[in-house]
Amino acid sequence: MKQFMAMLKKSENEHPPPTKLIDLAGQLCRELQSSSPSLEKLVEAMMGCKNTRYFLTNIHVVRACVSVHIHNGQHDAACRLLEYCKAEEKEELVQLWHEIHYRRVMEKHQTDFLTPLQRFRCRKRNPPPISLCPEVLKNRNYSEEVRQHLHKFAAEVTANPDKKQREGLARDMNLQPTQVYNWFANYRRRQKS
């Protein structure tokens, strides 16, 4: 830790800082416990220097910074950090994003865990930003043409197609049979209400 602090001070005006320094930061973040005072000092030092953005290319540093922010109840700061960090491990960043929001909900409801349904609702209400999902969040709505075809089938043939019919519809519209199954289940539910 002392070695890192000394190197950080020495390379304060270097842009970018030495790769060795960033690697050492990642190693220290991996080794220290998530709520230890040492980790808080380390994160504070990295977040306070001019080269913060370079440190945020290392997933271990990002994870440590997020955990310190969460520990301190700074959920918004943790979210902003994830939005602007440049780490390559996008899936892990999305997981961290969800973790922040799960924590928020757990604190709000004063509970230690969330049910799968609560987690699902939390993810739906707090989708990750596009910066974490460059392939853009998948649009779950079907095209107008597909919806019309499914509605027509439901009205003219049946709202409860059997397996063979679902497979045929899936093939015709380039969908998975489970997508067709779910669409009809949702359609029947909407008709009831």
Q: To 10 degrees, the CA torsion angle through 20, 24, 26, 30?
A: 150
The pLDDT tens digits of the residues spanning 171-191 come to 998 888 888 999 999 999 988
pLDDT > 70: percent of the chain: 95
Where is pLDDT greater, at 140 or 6? 6
Determine the Cα–Cα distance for residues 59 and 29; give it in Å rounded to an integer. 10
> Exposed, middle or buried by CB within 10 Å (0-12, 13-18, 19+), for 152?
exposed
Domain boundaries, the chain: 1-132, 144-192
Split at pLDDT 50, 70, 90, the class of 78 is: very high
The pLDDT tens digits of the residues spanning 12-65 come to 777 788 888 888 888 888 888 666 788 888 888 888 888 888 889 999 999 999
**What are 102's two structure tokens?**
């799960």
Q: Strand, coil or helix: what is 13?
A: coil
Q: Strand, coil or helix: what is 56?
A: coil
pLDDT of residue 131: 80
144-192 architecture in CATH? Orthogonal Bundle (1.10)
Q: 43 — alpha (psi -120 to 50), left (phi > 0) or beta?
A: alpha
Q: Strand, coil or helix: what is 27?
A: helix
